[in-house]
Structure 1
Amino acid sequence: MTDQKLVPRALVVLLCAASAVVTLAGIREVGSIVGPVLLALVLVLAVAPVRTWLARRGAPGWTLVAVPLVLVLLLLLGMVAILTLSVAQMATLASTYGQQFNQLVARAQQFAGQLGIGGKEMSQAIRTLDPSKIFDLLTGFASGLLGAFSSLVLIVVLVLSMCLDARNFDRILASGTARRRPELIHALGQFAHNTRRYLVVSTGFGLVCSTLDVIALWVLGVPLPLLWGVLALITNYIPNIGFVIGLVPPALLGLLEGGPKTMLLVIACYMAINFVVQSLVQPKFLGDAVGLSTTVTFLSLLLWAFVLGPLGALLAIPLSLLTRALLVDSDPEGKWAAALISGQAPDDGRA
C-alpha cells in the first residue's frame, strides 16, 4: 500500500469556511429569487398534511393541488393585508403623538432638575429621543417583509409547481435508487417533520400569546390592540428578538397615551405572558423538534437576516433545519456536529 498524504485539518476548515462565505454571498445576491423559493418550500411543507389527508380519503387528484394552493393563497393574502395595515398605522401614529411626546420631554426635564441633574447636555440628550425614529425602524422592518411578500405571483407559481411535483417527489424518495442514500432520505424526512411540528406548535402558542396580549392592551387602553396582537403573532416566528419587536410599538403607545405607568404595565404584561407561555409551557410541547441550541438559534437569526433580510429572520429556524439536514444529519459521521448544534450529548447506545 502506498502512503497517502493527509490534508491538514486546518486547511480543510479554512476551505469549508471560504466555500460557505462564497455560497452565502451568492445567495444574498440572488435573494430576491431564493427568498420566495424557500418561503414557498416552507409553505408547501406546512400544508403537506392536508394533501396526505385528502389522498387517504380518496379525493380527486386535482383537489390534492387545489386545496393546499388555496390555503397558501389565503395565508399570503392575509399576511400582506396585515403588514400593509401595520405600515400604514405606524406611519400615521408617528405623526399624531408629537404633542404628547413634547409633554413627556418637559416632565423628564423637570424630574431631572429635581434630582439635581441639569445642563444643556441633559436637555439635548432628552430631546434627541424621537419616537418617530422607533416607528421608522419598525415601519422599515414591516416594509421589508411586505416587499418579500410582494412577489406574490412568483410564490404562488412556485407553490403550485411544488404541489404538482409532490407526488412524483414522494415516489422518487421511495424508489430503490433513492434508498442508496438512506441517511439523506432520513434527514430530509426529519427536516419536513420537524419544520411542520415547529410551525404548528409556534402558531398555536403564538395565537395564545397574541390573544392574551390583545386582552391586556384593551384593558390598559392602548390604541389598536388587535393590530399589535397580530404583529405579536407574526414576530413570534422570529427567534430571540421577535418578542422585543412585538413589544416595542404597544409599549411606546402606552407611554404616549397613558404615561410611564401604562408603558411599564404593558411591558410587565408582555413579559409575564411570554415567560409563562413560551418559556414554561411551549418547550414541553415542542420538545426536541428544533434541535438547535440557544446560541446556534441566535447565530442563525443573525446569519439569515443578513443574507435574506427580514424574510430570513422570519424563516431562520426552518432554514437552519434545512441546512442541518443537508450538511450534518445526512452524514453518517456527523453525529458529533449534530450534538454541538443541538447542545445535547449524542446517544452512544450505552445504558
Structure 2
Amino acid sequence: MSQKIQADGTIKFFITIIGLVVIAIVLRELSSIFIPLVIAIFLFFVFSPFNNWLDNKKVPMLFVTLIDLAIIFGLLYGVGRIVVDSFLQFSEGLPVYGEKLSNMVKATSASWGLTDPFFTDFSFEHLIAKLNLENIAGGIFSSTVSLLGSVLFVLFFFLFVLSGNETIYNAIKHRYVYKKLTPELAKAKEEIDNTDSTIDEQNILDEFHQQRQLRDQQLETTFKKITEQIQRYIIAKVGVNLIAGIITTIVLSIIGVDFPIVWGLFVFLFNFIPTIGSAIALVFPVLFSLVQFDSVGTMILVLALMAGIQTLAFNVAEPMILGKRLNLNPLLILLSVLVWGYIWGIVGMLLSVPLTAIIKIIISNSTSPNMKFFEHLMSQEKDNVCNYYISLAFYLSLRQRSYIYTIYCSLNKISILVFFFALI
C-alpha cells in the first residue's frame, strides 16, 4: 500500500515538473503577448487603491481612465525628459574627454612599449568616424519604434483590464466559489430526497451560504494581498534605488567627478535590472573617472566607494527589505531572478520578485499539504522553524518530503555563512 502511494506521489511529481516546463516554454515563446499583459495587470493593481478612492467619490469610469492615462504619460514624459537632458549634457563634454582618452591611450602604449598603430596613433575622433552612424541611427530608430509599440500595447491591455476587471473578477469568483460549492449542495439535496433523513434542508442552505461567504472573503483577501505586495515591492525598490542614486551623486560630487547627476541616474535606473544593472552602473563612472583625472588611485577610490554603496544598498539592504516586506526567502529571490530572466529576459528579471510574491499568495490559499509545503519553502522562515524540520526529519527517517526541507534549510544557512565570510 505504501509503495503504491509513493508511486502515485512520484508520478504526480513528474507530471507537475513537465507541466511547469510546458508553461515556461509557452510563456517564453509568446512573450510578446504575455509581457505587455502582465505589465498592464501590474499597473492595474498599482492604480487599484487610487481608482477605488475615485470610485467612492462617484467619479465616472471614463474620467478615472483618463486620469490614470494622464499619470502614466506624465511619469513617462518626466523620466524621459530627465534621461534625455542628462545625456545631452554628457554629450556636450564628450569631445573634451575623447581627447583626454586619446592622449591617455598613447601615453600608456608608449610606457608599455606597444607598437600596434591602433594604440600608438589612437584617436577617439577617428574611432567614432569609423563607426557606421547610419546603422547606429537605424538601430536607435527601430528600437525607439519598438519601444513605443510596446508601450502602446501595454496601454491597450491596461485599458482592457481596467474596463473589464469586474467581469474578470466575477468569472474567477464563479469558478472559485459557485462552481466548487454547487455540486456539494446538489449532492446534499439528493441525499435528503433519497433518504428519510430528518436533517433540515434550511440548515444545509445556511451552511452553503456560510461556505460561499467564506470563499468570497478568501478571494477578496487574495486580491487585496496581491495589490499590497506589488505596491510594497515598487515602493521598496524605488526607495532603495533612489537613495543609492542620491548617495552616489553626493559622493561623486565631493570627489569632483564630472556629471555626478548622470552617474546617480545611472545607478537609479540600471539597478532596476538585477545583477547586470549594478555592473553597468558601476563600470561607466569608474572608467570615466580614470579618463577625467588620469589617475589610477582616483579610479580605485571611485570604484571602492561605488561598489560599497551598491553592495550595501542592493546586496544587503534590498534583500532584507524585500524579504521582510514580501516575506520571501532571499535565496528564492535569487532563483526567481534567474528563472524569470531565462523566460522573459531583462523584463522577466524586473518582474521576477513581484511575480514570485503573487505565486506565493495564491499557493498560501490552498489547503493542499503539498502546496503548504511549498509555501513554507518560499517564506522567510526563522532558524527555529528550520531546526524543527531538521529534528523532525531525523525522527521520520527522512521520509517523504521532510528530507527536502532539511537540505533546503541547511543550504540556506551555508549560503548565509559563505556570504558573511566573503564580506570579511
TM-score, normalised relative to structure 2: 0.62
Q: CA offset at residue 217 of structure 1?
A: 2.6
Q: CA offset at residue 102 of structure 1?
A: 1.8
Q: Distance in 2 between matches of 1:10 and 1:145?
A: 49
Please name the residue that 1:33 is paired with.
Answer: 33
Correspondence list, 1:176-255, <5 A:
177=178, 180=215, 186-255=221-290
Query: Does the aligned pair in 2 maintain the 1:47–1:68 contact within 8 Å?
Result: yes
Q: CA offset at residue 23 of structure 1?
A: 1.4
Please name the residue that 2:132 is paired with.
Answer: none
Unaligned runs of 5+ in 2: 128-138, 180-211, 389-424
Q: CA offset at residue 337 of structure 1?
A: 1.0
Query: Does the aligned pair in 2 maintain the 1:183–1:329 contact within 8 Å?
Result: no
Correspondence list, 1:9-158, <5 A:
9-78=9-78, 96=98, 99=102, 102-103=105-106, 105-106=108-109, 109=112, 150-158=149-157
Higher relative contact order (CA 8 A, sep 6+): 1
**1:184/1:145 CA distance change after superposition, 3 Å:** farther
**1:269/1:219 CA distance change after superposition, 3 Å:** same
Please name the residue that 2:309 is paired with.
Answer: 273
What is the identity, as a one-letter code, of the residue corresponding to 2:55? A
- Root-mean-square deviation (CA, aligned residues, Å) is 4.3
Q: Deviations over 1:201-235 (max 9, x none)?
A: 22123222212212223333434332332232223
Please name the residue that 2:350 is paired with.
Answer: 314
Matched, 1:341 2:344: no
User: Which range moves more in the overlay, 220-229 or 335-344?
Assistant: 220-229
**1:104/1:316 CA distance change after superposition, 3 Å:** farther
Query: Does the aligned pair in 2 maintain the 1:27–1:307 contact within 8 Å?
Result: yes
**1:210/1:101 CA distance change after superposition, 3 Å:** same
The 3-state SS of whatever aligns with 2:340 is: helix
Q: Sequence identity of aligned pairs in percent?
A: 23
User: Which range moves more in the overlay, 214-223 or 63-72?
Assistant: 214-223
Q: Distance in 2 between matches of 1:145 and 1:305?
A: 22
What is the identity, as a one-letter code, of the residue corresponding to 1:339? H
Q: Distance in 2 between matches of 1:324 and 1:109?
A: 57
Q: Distance in 2 between matches of 1:313 and 1:146?
A: 23
The 3-state SS of whatever aligns with 1:344 is: coil
Query: Does the aligned pair in 2 maintain the 1:183–1:331 contact within 8 Å?
Result: no
Query: Does the aligned pair in 2 maintain the 1:101–1:256 contact within 8 Å?
Result: yes
Q: Distance in 2 between matches of 1:69 and 1:167?
A: 19
Q: CA offset at residue 284 of structure 1?
A: 6.9
Please name the residue that 1:305 is paired with.
Answer: 341
User: Which range moves more in the overlay, 44-53 or 96-105?
Assistant: 96-105
**1:234/1:47 CA distance change after superposition, 3 Å:** farther
What is the identity, as a one-letter code, of the residue corresponding to 2:163? L
Q: Distance in 2 between matches of 1:236 and 1:281?
A: 13
Matched, 1:263 2:299: yes
Matched, 1:332 2:367: yes
Q: CA offset at residue 70 of structure 1?
A: 1.8
Q: Distance in 1 between matches of 2:13 and 2:108?
A: 54
Q: Which has the higher helix share?
A: 2
**1:168/1:25 CA distance change after superposition, 3 Å:** closer
Q: CA offset at residue 276 of structure 1?
A: 5.0
Q: Distance in 1 between matches of 2:335 and 2:2?
A: 41
Count of residues paired in the alignment: 322
Q: State which structure, 1 or 2, has the greater radius of gyration over its C-alpha atoms.
A: 2
Q: Deviations over 1:277-299 (max 9, x none)?
A: 55666667656333322222112
Q: Distance in 2 between matches of 1:33 and 1:86?
A: 33
Q: Distance in 1 between matches of 2:353 and 2:111?
A: 41
Q: Distance in 2 between matches of 1:268 and 1:108?
A: 26
